[in-house]
């Protein structure tokens, strides 16, 4: 089985020092996972569990005070660890091999420039075409995403939420990258538009044949789109496995907590069964409570002062 | 509150430098009370003596000791600046808070008036005012006039703080828990409003001393009172630069520049302290 | 809709401003007519009838005859026609002629220095906000922090001393050399430019600090915006991000800031003119006050208010060009 991305023991912390007090916030705390080729790996977790920090770390888009402290990130199209690349190699690799679908919020495209400028900035440098050919390709791509050509001459605030999200998807996929990271692409959309957008993402991914990491807290979306599912909590990956198995028999209480609303109270108590690929990645140190409401937070995410 | 100041002093370089500069200026102002010469009299000492041990900053052409003149001048200018800042604080707090909390039509009307006052050029109006008042213009009247024209810039800043407070969660929580409005304002919101009031007060003192200096130098105020501006005015009248009596000009100019930079640093560091985004930028970047 | 609102603001500024002027001139205990008369009659005996005629003539000249409502209406009429009567100190030259002569100098000074200060200040501030580690830019930042709080008079004065007494290489007074005939010949134009260098430098130094500091903090906030993060993730060329994504988005709020600070910049300009004896509105105003020329002072104040309000309105018209989110109808 070919592996598209292999992350081993990744640690990235926020190192903060303000007014004499130093703190570290463990945004990414010893994560190990791998994504196979042509697979969609879903990541779920509640807010502030470190999903976005993890995403940005594996996309090499972090700024201080977030720093990588250890571990390795290896993509199959690179010969070295991601953080061993120099600036130029990183820039070359971006968008052509590794792209990113953001949440299509109001602010995700440059508000003072028309959409076509964004396409020129993002994709044009990577495709060796002249302008006419380039916009030909872009137009055809937009059609496949059910967007009309007039989108190119519009300003971002003139588009609806769904259109903006589809433009973001178009931007990310026009260069046909091998690896796509999708960061909550459907969170801001209503359910009807969500269905369309998800279908488009799936279609694109199948057509281009890229691997994808899909982040969202919505388990119903994962049920529809992810092949495998990983649950994050407090900067750690606490559970991982094929989506169907995960949704049927979650092992850990935090998983249970984000899962039960989706099942509307028909929760069955978790049983300690194991199947071949469904591994428990984080040993549970607590008793499974009878009620899903009684949860004891054993892992703290917040600041631990090193020195005060 | 005191702990905030202590932390700022220790970790924020601008605040520390600003405090030191202001302490220098304040000690000068306080020293004026120990002046051996009556401030308004002239020809008490030999004129045009360069700085020496007897006269640390020399004497001027009017026969006054420059150092002691400077202390009185600094005190008067500072008092004037503080008075204007205090008076205009009342208006800007009132307008800013009402505008921020009330919102809607009241907000829009007040901000329109606010922007009007921001745009109107003050110097011609104050000149006209002086022209109409001539010798009747006392410092108190001038302070009132400047306070009634100098509030708009700060009112806008206070309004933005009030707006953000109104929408925060702890406000709705307090309202729902049945806290009376007055209590909410005093206990929950005041700690957020105070820093911006502090910072704008520093700014306003700067502005009013600057304007006072400008008006005095051209001779548009009561030039008998020793202030920084009138010192420079008299120096110009006696063509001190041409006559080579540079210490008469250097002393007030240097002192007032120290004052301005000190107040500015204090105001800027407090502003940075309030703004959470700049705090994030400082943290380990 | 937007245009209408900005025009409404323009009207409001002029209205409130002129009302304040009217209030100041009529609410004070000094009567300019009596003032003028007392300065004219102080040197000896004057014929009471002559004094009475002078009083009536002055009242009419100053627009101070009739009831207060008549005076109010008269005031607005004069503003509309731009006729403030003859100047007392330069009798019988009309005030409007004097202002007309001085205004171009002030406008030239304002326009040049604001363009330079706003442009250069914003550019450097943008660079400083993006390249935070650059030592040169950090040094420029410290210089700007030192320059910004210093008021107009002190700055101009220091420049005057530096270049007038310590290092006299540039002319420090007047608009041009006195004996050159004003036309478009090279000696005249170069003389004008030469004489304007110091006032422009002063005014630029006065205003540039604020633009630098403001732009720097604005840019460091914009850098955290979603579209910048997205562009960086996509590997867009850094130079392009700085110009097209960051600076371009910072220009709109800075333009608004320019509109709001025009009143202050105008103040700075006329103060600088007084220091350098530059033949603009500033020197004219001070001369008017010192010679007790009521009409002149009144005229200059009114025209200043209208001029600044017009400039602000002009900037408001430019704003939609920078920010496409504003709906212009």
Q: In whole numbers, what is the pLDDT of chain B averaged over residues?
A: 82
Output the pLDDT for position B238.
84
Phi, then psi, of B71 in degrees rounded to 5:
-60, -45
C1 in contact with B, Cβ within 8 Å: no
Output the pLDDT for position C204.
93
Q: Which of residues 147-176 of A touch B (CB under 8 A)?
A: none
Higher per-residue confidence, B39 vs A191: A191
Output the pLDDT for position C119.
93
Residues in chain C with CB shorter than 8 Å from the CB of A59 are 233
Of B46-50, C220-224, C274-278, the poorest mean pLDDT is in B46-50
Question: Is A61 in contact with C226 (Cβ distance < 8 A)?
Answer: no
Q: Å from A108 to nearest chain B CA?
A: 19
Percent of residues, chain B, with pLDDT higher than 70: 91
Q: What is the pLDDT of residues B15-27, one digit of tens each?
A: 888 889 999 988 8
Distance CA(A298)–CA(A295), nearest Å, equals: 9
Interface confidence (ipTM) of the complex: 0.85
Residues in chain A with CB shorter than 8 Å from the CB of B4 are none
Question: Is A157 in contact with C249 (Cβ distance < 8 A)?
Answer: no
Higher per-residue confidence, A197 vs A299: A197
B178 in contact with A, Cβ within 8 Å: no
Of the pLDDT bands very low, low, confident and very high (cuts 50, 70, 90), residue C180 is low
Q: What is the pLDDT of residues A53-83, one digit of tens each?
A: 888 888 888 877 788 888 888 888 888 888 8
Output the pLDDT for position A259.
55
Distance CA(B128)–CA(B120), nearest Å, equals: 14
Residues in chain A with CB shorter than 8 Å from the CB of B273 are none
Question: Is A15 in contact with B284 (Cβ distance < 8 A)?
Answer: yes
Distance CA(B210)–CA(C148), nearest Å, equals: 12
Output the pLDDT for position C313.
92
3-state secondary structure (DSSP) of residue B65: strand
Q: In whole numbers, what is the pLDDT of chain A averaged over residues?
A: 77
In whole angstroms, how far apart are CA A146 and each of A161, A166, A187?
Answer: 14, 8, 20
Higher per-residue confidence, B185 vs B86: B86
Of B92, B120, B99, nearest to C9 by C-alpha is B120
Output the pLDDT for position C258.
92
Q: What is the pLDDT of residues C51-107, one digit of tens each?
A: 888 888 877 777 777 777 888 888 888 888 877 777 777 777 888 888 888 898 899
Per-residue HEC secondary structure of C78-145 comes to HHHHCCCCECCCCCCCEHHHHHHHHHHHHHHHHHHHHHHHHHHHHHHHHHHHHCCCCHHHHHHHHHHH
Residues in chain B with CB shorter than 8 Å from the CB of C130 are none
Q: Which of residues 203-242 of C touch B (CB under 8 A)?
A: 213, 217, 220-221, 224
* Across A189-217, average pLDDT: 87
Of A22, A26, A18, nearest to A308 by C-alpha is A22
Are the C-beta atoms of residues A56 and C226 closer than 8 Å to each other?
A: no
Residues in chain C with CB shorter than 8 Å from the CB of A155 are 324-325
Per-residue HEC secondary structure of chain A comes to CCEEEEEEEEEEEEEEEECCEEEEEEEEEEEEEEEECCCEEEEECCCCCCHHHHHHHHCCCCCCCEEEEEEEEEECCCCCCHHHCCHHHHHHHECCCEEEECCCCCCCCCCCCCHHHHHHHHCHHHCCCCHHHHHHHHHHHHHHCCCCHHHHHCCHHHCCHHHHHHHHHHHHHCCCCCEEEEECCCCCCCHHHHHHHHHHHHHHHHHHCCEEEEECCCHHHHHHHCCEEEEEECCEEEEEEEHHHHHHCCCCHHHHHHHHHHHCCCCCCCCCCCECCEEECCCCCCCCCCCCCCCCCCCCCCCEEEEC
Are the C-beta atoms of residues A35 and A213 closer than 8 Å to each other?
A: yes
Higher per-residue confidence, A17 vs C266: C266
Q: Å from A105 to nearest chain C CA?
A: 8
How far out from the chain centre does Cα B12 lie? 21
How far out from the chain centre does Cα C251 lie? 21
Of the pLDDT bands very low, low, confident and very high (cuts 50, 70, 90), residue A305 is very low
Q: Which of residues 34-73 of A touch B (CB under 8 A)?
A: 63-65
Output the pLDDT for position B169.
62
Of the pLDDT bands very low, low, confident and very high (cuts 50, 70, 90), residue B197 is confident
Output the pLDDT for position C47.
79
Residue of B nearest to C13 (CA): B116
pLDDT exceeds 80 at position C160: yes
CA angle C129–C130–C132, rounded 5-degree value? 75
Output the pLDDT for position A65.
78
Of the pLDDT bands very low, low, confident and very high (cuts 50, 70, 90), residue A4 is confident
Are the C-beta atoms of residues C213 and C138 closer than 8 Å to each other?
A: no
Residues in chain A with CB shorter than 8 Å from the CB of B10 are 19-20
Question: Is B11 in contact with A64 (Cβ distance < 8 A)?
Answer: no
Output the pLDDT for position B65.
83
Distance CA(C108)–CA(C102), nearest Å, equals: 10
Output the pLDDT for position C269.
92
Percent of residues, chain C, with pLDDT higher than 70: 97
Output the pLDDT for position A284.
41
Helix (H) or strand (E) holding C207: helix C186-222
* Across A129-139, average pLDDT: 89
Percent of residues, chain B, with pLDDT higher than 90: 8
* Across C124-145, average pLDDT: 89
Question: Whole-prediction pTM value?
Answer: 0.83
Of C28-42, C93-107, C170-184, the poorest mean pLDDT is in C170-184
A/B interface, count of CB pairs below 8 Å: 23
Of the pLDDT bands very low, low, confident and very high (cuts 50, 70, 90), residue A273 is very low
Interface test with A, best of C130, C133, C227, C234 (most A CBs within 10 A): C234
C234 in contact with A, Cβ within 8 Å: yes
Interface test with B, best of A13, A14, A16, A19 (most B CBs within 10 A): A19
pLDDT exceeds 60 at position B3: yes
Higher per-residue confidence, A227 vs C29: A227
Closest Cβ opposite residue C232 in set A61, A110, A171: A61
B/C interface, count of CB pairs below 8 Å: 141
Residues in chain C with CB shorter than 8 Å from the CB of A105 are 226
Question: Is A157 in contact with C324 (Cβ distance < 8 A)?
Answer: yes
pLDDT exceeds 90 at position C212: yes
Closest Cβ opposite residue C234 in set A95, A107, A117: A95
Question: Is B116 in contact with C146 (Cβ distance < 8 A)?
Answer: no
3-state secondary structure (DSSP) of residue B59: strand
Of the pLDDT bands very low, low, confident and very high (cuts 50, 70, 90), residue B267 is confident
Percent of residues, chain A, with pLDDT higher than 70: 79
Of A247-251, B122-126, C304-308, the poorest mean pLDDT is in A247-251
A16 in contact with B, Cβ within 8 Å: yes
Higher per-residue confidence, C35 vs B69: B69
Long-range contacts of A186-189 (CB under 8 A, 24+ apart): A186/A216, A186/A218, A186/A221, A187/A103, A187/A216, A187/A217, A187/A218, A188/A103, A188/A104, A188/A105, A188/A161, A189/A104, A189/A161, A189/A162, A189/A165
Output the pLDDT for position C185.
75
No. of helices (H) and no. of strands (E), chain C: 13, 0
pLDDT exceeds 90 at position C123: yes
Q: Which of residues 4-43 of B touch A (CB under 8 A)?
A: 7, 10-11
Closest Cβ opposite residue C236 in set A93, A105, A121: A121
Residue of A nearest to C250 (CA): A112
Residues in chain A with CB shorter than 8 Å from the CB of B282 are 18
Residues in chain A with CB shorter than 8 Å from the CB of C249 are 110-112
Output the pLDDT for position A282.
42
Output the pLDDT for position A306.
35
C285 in contact with B, Cβ within 8 Å: yes
* Across C208-230, average pLDDT: 89
Q: Å from A263 to nearest chain C CA?
A: 33
Phi, then psi, of A30 in degrees rounded to 5:
60, 65
* Across B140-152, average pLDDT: 88
Question: Is B7 in contact with A15 (Cβ distance < 8 A)?
Answer: no
Q: In whole numbers, what is the pLDDT of chain C averaged over residues?
A: 85
Are the C-beta atoms of residues C298 and B115 closer than 8 Å to each other?
A: no
Are the C-beta atoms of residues A4 and A75 closer than 8 Å to each other?
A: yes
* Across C126-143, average pLDDT: 89
Distance CA(C194)–CA(C157), nearest Å, equals: 18
Neighbours of chain B (3+ CB pairs under 8 A): A, C
Question: Is A18 in contact with B285 (Cβ distance < 8 A)?
Answer: no
C152 in contact with B, Cβ within 8 Å: yes
């Amino acid at each position: 089985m070919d592996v598209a991305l292999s992350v081993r023991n990744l640690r990235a912390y926020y190192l903060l020092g303000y007014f004499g007090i130093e703190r570290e916030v463990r945004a990414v705390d010893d994560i190990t996972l791998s994504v196979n080729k042509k697979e969609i790996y879903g990541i779920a977790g509640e807010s502030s569990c470190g999903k976005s920090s993890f995403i940005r770390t594996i996309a090499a888009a972090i700024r201080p005070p977030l720093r990588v402290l250890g571990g390795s990130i290896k993509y199959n199209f690179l010969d070295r660890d991601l953080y061993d690349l120099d600036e130029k190699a990183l820039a070359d690799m971006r968008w052509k091999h590794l792209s990113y679908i953001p949440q299509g919020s109001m602010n995700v495209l440059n508000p003072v420039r028309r959409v076509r400028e964004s396409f020129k900035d993002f994709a044009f440098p990577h495709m060796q075409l002249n302008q006419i050919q380039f916009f030909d390709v872009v137009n055809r791509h937009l059609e496949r995403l059910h967007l009309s050509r007039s989108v190119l001459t519009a300003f971002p605030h003139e588009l609806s939420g769904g259109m903006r999200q589809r433009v973001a998807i178009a931007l990310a996929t026009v260069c046909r990258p091998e690896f796509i990271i999708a960061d909550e692409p459907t969170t801001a959309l209503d359910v009807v538009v969500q269905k369309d957008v998800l279908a488009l993402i799936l279609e694109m991914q199948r057509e281009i044949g890229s691997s994808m990491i899909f982040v969202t807290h919505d388990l119903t979306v994962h049920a529809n789109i992810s092949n495998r599912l990983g649950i994050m909590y407090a900067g750690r990956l606490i559970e991982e496995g094929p989506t169907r198995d995960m949704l049927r028999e979650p092992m850990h209480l935090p998983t249970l907590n984000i899962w039960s609303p989706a099942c509307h109270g028909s929760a069955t108590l978790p049983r300690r069964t194991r199947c071949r690929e469904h591994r428990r990645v984080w040993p549970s140190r607590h008793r499974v409570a009878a009620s899903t409401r009684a949860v004891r937070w054993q892992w703290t995410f917040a600041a631990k002062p090193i020195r005060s | 509150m005191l702990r905030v100041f202590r932390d700022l002093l220790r970790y924020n370089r601008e605040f520390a430098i600003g405090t030191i500069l202001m302490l220098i200026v304040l000690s000068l102002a306080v020293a004026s009370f120990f002046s051996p010469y009556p401030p308004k009299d002239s020809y008490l000492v030999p004129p045009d003596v360069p700085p020496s041990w007897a006269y640390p900053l020399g004497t001027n052409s009017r026969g006054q000791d420059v150092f002691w003149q400077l202390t009185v001048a600094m005190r008067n200018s500072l008092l004037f600046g503080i008075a204007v800042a205090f008076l205009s604080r009342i208006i800007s707090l009132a307008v800013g808070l009402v505008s921020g909390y009330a919102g809607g039509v009241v907000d829009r009307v007040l901000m329109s008036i606010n922007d009007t006052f921001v745009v109107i050029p003050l110097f011609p109006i104050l000149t006209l005012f002086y022209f109409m008042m001539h010798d009747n213009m006392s410092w108190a009247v001038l302070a009132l006039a400047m306070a009634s024209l100098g509030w708009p810039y700060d009112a806008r800043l206070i309004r933005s703080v009030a707006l953000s407070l109104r929408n925060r969660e702890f406000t709705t929580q307090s309202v729902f828990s049945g806290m009376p409005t007055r209590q909410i304002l005093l206990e929950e919101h005041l700690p957020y409003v105070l820093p911006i009031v502090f910072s704008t007060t520093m700014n306003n003192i700067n502005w009013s001393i600057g304007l006072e200096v400008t008006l005095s130098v051209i001779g548009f105020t009561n030039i008998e009172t020793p202030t920084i501006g009138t010192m420079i005015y008299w120096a110009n009248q006696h063509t001190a630069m041409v006559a080579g009596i540079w210490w008469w000009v250097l002393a007030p100019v240097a002192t007032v520049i120290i004052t301005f930079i000190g107040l500015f640093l204090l105001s800027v560091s407090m502003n940075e302290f309030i703004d959470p985004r700049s705090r994030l930028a400082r943290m380990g970047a | 809709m937007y245009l209408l609102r900005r025009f409404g603001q323009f009207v409001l500024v002029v209205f409130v401003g002129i009302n304040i002027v009217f209030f100041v001139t009529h609410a004070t205990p000094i009567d300019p007519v009596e003032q003028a008369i007392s300065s004219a009659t102080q040197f000896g005996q004057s014929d009471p009838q002559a004094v009475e005629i002078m009083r009536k003539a002055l009242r009419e000249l100053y627009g101070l005859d009739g009831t207060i409502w008549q005076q109010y209406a008269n005031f607005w009429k004069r503003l509309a026609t731009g006729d403030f009567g003859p100047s007392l100190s330069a009798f019988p030259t009309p005030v409007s002629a004097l202002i007309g002569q001085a205004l171009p100098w002030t406008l030239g000074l304002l326009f040049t220095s604001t363009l330079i200060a706003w442009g250069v200040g914003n550019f450097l501030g943008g660079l400083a906000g993006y390249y935070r580690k650059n030592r040169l830019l950090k040094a420029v930042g410290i210089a700007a922090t030192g320059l910004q709080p210093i008021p107009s008079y002190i700055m101009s004065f220091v420049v005057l001393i530096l270049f007038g007494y310590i290092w006299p290489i540039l002319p420090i007074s007047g608009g041009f050399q006195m004996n050159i005939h004003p036309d478009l010949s090279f000696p005249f134009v170069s003389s004008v430019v030469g004489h304007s260098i110091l006032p422009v430098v002063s005014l630029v130094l006065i205003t540039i600090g604020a633009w630098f500091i403001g732009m720097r903090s604005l840019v460091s906030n914009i850098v955290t915006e979603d579209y910048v993060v997205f562009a960086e993730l996509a590997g867009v060329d850094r130079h392009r991000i700085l110009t097209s994504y960051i600076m371009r988005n910072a220009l709109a709020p800075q333009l608004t800031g320019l509109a709001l600070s025009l009143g202050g910049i105008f103040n700075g300009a006329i103060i600088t003119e007084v220091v350098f004896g530059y033949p603009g509105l500033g020197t004219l105003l001070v001369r008017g006050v010192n010679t007790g020329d009521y009409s002149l002072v009144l005229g200059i104040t009114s025209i200043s208010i209208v001029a600044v309000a017009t400039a602000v309105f002009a900037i408001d018209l430019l704003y939609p060009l920078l920010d496409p989110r504003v709906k212009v109808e």
